[in-house]
Amino acid sequence: MNLDFLTPYGFWNPILWLLVIFVALLVAYLIWLRGNSRYKKGTEQTKPFLSGYAPESKEAMMVSASNIYWGFTSTLKGYYNFLRKMHTGDIRDYLGWYVGIVAIMLILYILWGGA
Amino acid sequence: MPKLPTKSFDRSLWVFHVNTGSCNGCDIEILAALTPRYDVERFGIKLVGSPRHADALLVTGPVTRDMEDKVKRFYEQMADPKVVIVIGSCGISGGVFHESYNLVGPVDKVIPVDVYVPGCPPRPEAIIDGVVKAWMKLERLRREKK
């Protein structure tokens, strides 16, 4: 079976690439073997270096996905705070909003809708 | 006079420098040892950015209360064998700050010290001499561990 492909973009042979990956992994493994094996597991030696400060929990150190919108939410803080107050979690409040908005829309319709 | 090494060192020396309350005088002299006039990097002495990568801890200044836990952590984060070098009179005895309310004390009150380099500040030649002494001790410790 011939696995050599000569495409308009160049030469491609999957076996050759597998060989390259194997050699790269081997080199990486040899470098890893030369590392310091005297580290004591479970001590400060295996903890991250944070300029001398004690490492916090992983949850506190990681940047959450919501931080992508930090600039957006920070700029519109006043607006969000107002909206947050409206979101009480009480279904009666939401129904009150619903009835109120429907009433306003009905009034508007009665006044100008028929014209 | 200590016996000088007759052969080259086994490995280069990676050093982590920490200022625990120094006035920066000693730190400037350490930098001077790295400048082209002395150029200690040509001997394999290199400053690194993490104690986890370092063989030697180079400390300048007396230990302030704020730095006490940090310098302990720096020391604990270094892999064995390791050496600690104190540069300057303040790190050795507290120096002109020895009666300050904000000090825990000299460096050896917080972590074990291997080499002391006195001076206010010590000259780069003295710093290099101290580092070489620490290096020789480190090589000896490595051979003993093997």
Rounded CA-CA distance B21/B91 in Å is 9
Q: Give the residue from A43, A46, A51, A53 with the most B CB atoms within 10 Å of its CB, the best one to mutate.
A: A51
| Burial degree of B63 (CB within 10 A; 0-12, 13-18, 19+) | buried
The confidence score (pLDDT) of residue B122 equals 95
The per-residue pLDDT for range B93-143, each reduced to its tens digit, is 998 988 899 999 999 999 999 999 999 999 999 999 999 999 999 989 888
Which tokens hold the place of A23? 């050699």
How far is the alpha carbon of A27 from chain B, nearest alpha carbon, in Å? Answer: 21
Is residue B112 a contact partner of residue B52, using CB atoms and an 8 Å limit?
Answer: no
Q: Per-residue pLDDT averaged across B17-38, rounded?
A: 95
pLDDT, tens digit (0-9, with 9 covering 90-100), for B42-51: 999 999 999 9
pLDDT band, residue B54 (cuts 50/70/90): very high
Q: How many CB atoms lie within 10 A of CB A83?
A: 10
How far is B97 from A111, CA to CA, in rounded Å?
84
pLDDT of residue A35: 80
B46 φ/ψ angles, rounded to the nearest 5 degrees: -135, 135
Look at residue B65 and tell me whether its pLDDT is greater than 80: yes
Amino acid at A98: Y
**CB-CB neighbours of A74 under 10 Å:** 9
* Integer CA distances (angstroms), B111 to A50, B11, B58, B63, B73, in order: 19, 25, 12, 10, 10
Cβ contact B33:B40 at 8 Å: yes
Distance in angstroms (rounded) separating the CA atoms of residues B18 and B87: 10
**Chain B partners of A43 at a C-beta cutoff of 8 Å?**
76
Q: What percent of chain A has pLDDT over 90?
A: 37
Of A45, A52, A53, the CB nearest to B79: A45
Q: Give the model's pLDDT for residue B50.
A: 93
The answer to whether B62 and B97 have CB atoms below 8 angstroms apart is yes
Cα–Cα distance for residue pair B134/B146, rounded to 1 Å: 19
Instruction: Please tell me whether residue A51 adopts helix, strand or coil conformation.
Output: coil
First to last CA, chain B: 28
A28: closest CA of chain B, how far (Å):
18
DSSP category for residue A10: E
Q: Which CATH architecture has domain B13-145?
A: 3-Layer(aba) Sandwich (3.40)
ipTM here: 0.76
Q: Angle B124-145/B25-34 helices, nearest 10 degrees?
A: 80
- How much of chain B exceeds pLDDT 90, in percent? 78
Q: Could you say which of A36, A38, A47 has the minimum Cβ distance to residue B77?
A: A47
* Residue A52 to residue B74, Cβ atoms within 8 A: yes
Report residue A26 as tokens: 């081997």
CB contact under 8 A, A51 and B52: no
B51 contact partners, CB below 8 Å, separation of at least 6? A49, B16, B57, B74, B75, B77, B78
Q: Which regions of chain A are under pLDDT 50? A: none
Task: Kindly indicate the confidence band of residue B76, based on its pLDDT and cuts at 50, 70 and 90.
Answer: very high
A38, B80: Cβ pair inside 8 Å?
Answer: yes
User: Domain residues of chain B, as ranges?
Assistant: 13-145
pLDDT top residue among A41 and B89: B89
B5 has pLDDT over 70: no
- Across the strands, what pairs with A96? none
Task: Give B4's pLDDT tier (boundaries 50, 70, 90).
Answer: low
